[in-house]
Chain A
């Protein structure tokens, strides 16, 4: 695990136009995320968390400024280049799991591998490893509707890591789970960070969840603030 910056945001601005009105989400935002970090981002609704998540995940582009990932600028990539970049570098974990309801656990986990040149047997091998990692190897044939919320989120984690991306982006990963299950999921994320070196950014409203991260930053009105300023 190096101490290099994996992500760098320099002077990033993001503005939306709504009718004649222009809404500014960020102005001159600077941020670094180190390789191997586990960062929790907290903040109230409308603070810009989701927009930041979209920018980091390459699903949105900044209005101004630069975003660099592992030394490569991603703010100027085309839609198809971004899709390839996401496939190679990012694992997404969503609040509501976003599993494909018509596919079983193994097929869901296999989806990112369809974007690679791996053979079917190689893909199945990778899927097996990923499901073992999240403790669901005995649920490979189960459909999402036959699994609990916690199990579904584990499948989603397996899907996020199956192609071995450097970076995991988690959007409220425990927002739909009870405390005990949430803690189990967060422990899995910790394991991925500490043992497998995944860099993780997690957006959460839950201070208990944020405690599992190595560091927590707070966003308010598009700016990073100290926790005390946020509560005030």
Chain B
């Protein structure tokens, strides 16, 4: 065994040292692996970033009520009477001012994207201080809170970053109404940063919503309280709502870009086939280039297995180098990159590409598969190079 180890080590060292003889072909394999990994990671980082933006917005101790059958906040509705009924549901926490409930409105306004100068939908959320308090990690990073009953709004950090015209102190016109930006807020990078917030009652007036809302949030002790709330909803005929934790709602919304990850795998798998063809060519060239050396070693008494292992290690090494280059490129160019896309309510969600160690492992695994397959068949050939080639060699 130690004999095979020393044989294989010697062959591996020789193969690696002979790489400069095949520099361009080897670099081509490294480059192809790098491109495949970088593209895969870009798609995965996009899906991961979007998912994280959505999922981190949700709270387990916030019950989220939407009209039954509504896929997103935009389609939901809740009358004042229904909000009152929800306030009486069991399990909802209270303070000295009453139940911790936040009825909210969610309307769409237009904004101009900085990157394309195209108009895109932005959500304008109507809520009260109670609703603001339910958002974990909420901080005003500039300016102040909007004054209830006025046409003031505060703008999420993501909107400020990606859209024109929302700077602090600026006035902005949506349809017939002009609003004033009085504050900028952050919620730790989650989806709420892609929103504008204003007083719910002002939005009811300006958008002719009467006394109705769209969704209701309520503070609960834990997700276990949902059972009692569900029973209450079923027993109360005036309520046509379903309830889930806010985190469950956003987890579902976060899956809407899952297709990006699937698309990334499909694209990079197709590209991997191309890279594989190139890598196979590289490795067959390597075996051909080293055939005299392989045959000489076999004549001396080195085993076929050592030739096989040497070639496999060379292929895997090139693929791993490629994957590291690709991962580094993906990290430099994509990690933290800001983007926005349509979310579940047909509004723009601003999010950052997010590369995690789990994604890096997926990229490197793909490169290892390329390395393994591209190495296996040439390595098999290397193990079968006739020793007689050593006698036929010519410089």
**Nearest chain-B residue to A85 (Cβ)?**
B301
Residues of A within 8 A of B7 (CB): 114-115
Residues of B within 8 A of A54 (CB): 387-388, 391
Q: A53-B391, A54-B388 are in contact. Are A94 and B18 (CB under 8 A)?
A: no
- What separation, in Å, do the CA atoms of A87 and B296 have in the docked complex? 12
B contact residues, range: 20 to 34
The verdict on B332 contacting chain A, using a C-beta distance below 8 Å, is: no
Residues of B within 8 A of A100 (CB): 14, 293, 296
Stretch from A65-73, A76-84, A130-138, A218-226 contacting the other chain: A76-84
The verdict on B179 contacting chain A, using a C-beta distance below 8 Å, is: no
Residues of A within 8 A of B387 (CB): 54, 57, 59
- What separation, in Å, do the CA atoms of A86 and B298 have in the docked complex? 9
- What separation, in Å, do the CA atoms of A86 and B295 have in the docked complex? 13
The verdict on A111 contacting chain B, using a C-beta distance below 8 Å, is: yes
Within 8 A of A (CB), among B297-328: 297-304
Name the one of B3, B297, B299 contacting A57, with C-beta atoms under 8 angstroms. B299
Within 8 A of B (CB), among A70-116: 79-80, 83-84, 86-88, 92, 94-96, 98, 100-103, 111-112, 114-116
The verdict on A50 contacting chain B, using a C-beta distance below 8 Å, is: yes
B interface footprint on A34-63 (CB within 8 Å = 1, 0 otherwise): 000000000000000010011001011000
Name the one of A94, A95, A102, A111 contacting B297, with C-beta atoms under 8 angstroms. A111
The verdict on B208 contacting chain A, using a C-beta distance below 8 Å, is: no
**Nearest chain-A residue to B3 (Cβ)?**
A115
Interface centre among A80, A88, A92, A98 (most CB of B within 10 A): A98
Q: A96-B393, A114-B7 are in contact. Are A59 and B299 (CB under 8 A)?
A: yes
- Please state if A96 and B394 are interface contacts (CB–CB under 8 Å): yes
The verdict on B2 contacting chain A, using a C-beta distance below 8 Å, is: yes
- Please state if B394 and A115 are interface contacts (CB–CB under 8 Å): no
- What separation, in Å, do the CA atoms of A53 and B394 have in the docked complex? 18
The verdict on B17 contacting chain A, using a C-beta distance below 8 Å, is: yes
- Please state if A60 and B388 are interface contacts (CB–CB under 8 Å): yes
- Please state if B301 and A86 are interface contacts (CB–CB under 8 Å): yes
The verdict on A22 contacting chain B, using a C-beta distance below 8 Å, is: no
A contact residues, range: 20 to 34
The verdict on A8 contacting chain B, using a C-beta distance below 8 Å, is: no
- Please state if B301 and A98 are interface contacts (CB–CB under 8 Å): no
- Please state if A80 and B303 are interface contacts (CB–CB under 8 Å): yes
The verdict on A164 contacting chain B, using a C-beta distance below 8 Å, is: no
The verdict on B226 contacting chain A, using a C-beta distance below 8 Å, is: no
Residues of B within 8 A of A116 (CB): 3
Q: A114-B6, A114-B7, A115-B301 are in contact. Are A94 and B14 (CB under 8 A)?
A: no
- What separation, in Å, do the CA atoms of A87 and B7 have in the docked complex? 12
Residues of A within 8 A of B300 (CB): 86-87, 92, 111-112, 115, 159
Top-3 shortest CB links A-B: A87-B301, A102-B17, A59-B387
- B interface residues with partner A (beta carbon < 8 Å): 2-3, 6-7, 10, 14, 17-18, 292-293, 296-304, 386-388, 390-391, 393-395
Can you give 27 A-B contacts (C-beta < 8 A)? A50-B388, A50-B391, A54-B387, A57-B387, A59-B299, A59-B386, A59-B388, A60-B388, A83-B298, A83-B302, A83-B303, A83-B304, A86-B299, A87-B300, A88-B301, A92-B299, A94-B393, A96-B393, A96-B395, A100-B293, A100-B296, A101-B18, A111-B297, A112-B301, A115-B3, A115-B301, A115-B302
